[in-house]
Amino acid sequence: MSGPLVLTARLPAALFGQMQGLRRAHYPPERNHVPAHVTLFHALPPSSLGEVHRLVARLCAMTRPPAAQLAGVVDLGTGTAVAVHSPALEAVHADLATALHGLLGLADQGTPRFHVTIQNKVPRRKVRALQAALAGRFQGEPFAFAGLDLHSLQRLPEGGGTWQTQAQWTFRGR
């Protein structure tokens, strides 16, 4: 394992299928190397693998699936995302951020804006067209996150990277 660790929240199967379909249709195929996801932490150090594994396993065993809802389309400038509103996932993130303090880089220290990226690094005209097509969709649809997934990022010479899944946990709390 050479790259940073990425911790993501796993979407339920039906919503994952819908978001993955949008990614396949609108994300540049040469850059679409990872599945649809909601990122909690972008770049944990590889040396923290054991600590992160123990911490997340314990947290998922005690935590019920965090309730969430889709919160509209987000303009990323060169892309489009679907916003996710989830105070319960924010609490999970805050607990993990406290436990991982000192391991978090700048990108992971702030308040997260949860979303699923469905298009990125495309011309602005394509961004506007997709956002117009999706206007009014993804507003208030409830769901619950299924679990957390830990990946190691393997950078590609041409840019971007692929993920190697290191571990997956299911929320099991009551």
Question: In the chain, what are the domains?
Answer: 5-170 (3.90.1140.10)
Q: Please tell me the predicted confidence (pLDDT) of residue 53.
A: 96
Question: Does the pLDDT value for residue 129 go beyond 90?
Answer: yes
> Which pLDDT score is estimated for 153?
85
Beta-carbon count within 10 A of 115 CB: 19
Whether pLDDT at 37 is above 70:
yes
pLDDT at 174: 78
Q: Residue 1 pLDDT more than 60? A: no
What is the secondary structure of 85-102 as a DSSP string?
A: E-HHHHHHHHHHHHHTTT
Provide the pLDDT confidence category of residue 100 given band limits of 50, 70 and 90: very high
Q: Which amino acid is at 164?
A: Q
- The residue-averaged pLDDT of 113-142 equals 95
113 has a pLDDT exceeding 90: yes
The set of residues, in sequence order, having a beta carbon less than 8 Å from that of 132 and lying 6+ positions away, is none
Give the C-alpha separation, 63 to 170, whole Å: 9
Q: What percent of the chain is predicted at pLDDT more than 90?
A: 81
- For 39-85, write each residue's pLDDT tens digit: 999 999 999 999 999 999 999 999 999 999 999 999 999 999 999 99
- Residues 119 and 79: beta-carbon distance below 8 Å: yes
Instruction: Give the DSSP H or E segment for 16.
Output: helix 13-26
Rounded CA separation 18/13 (Å)? 9
- pLDDT tier at 33, thresholds 50, 70, 90: confident
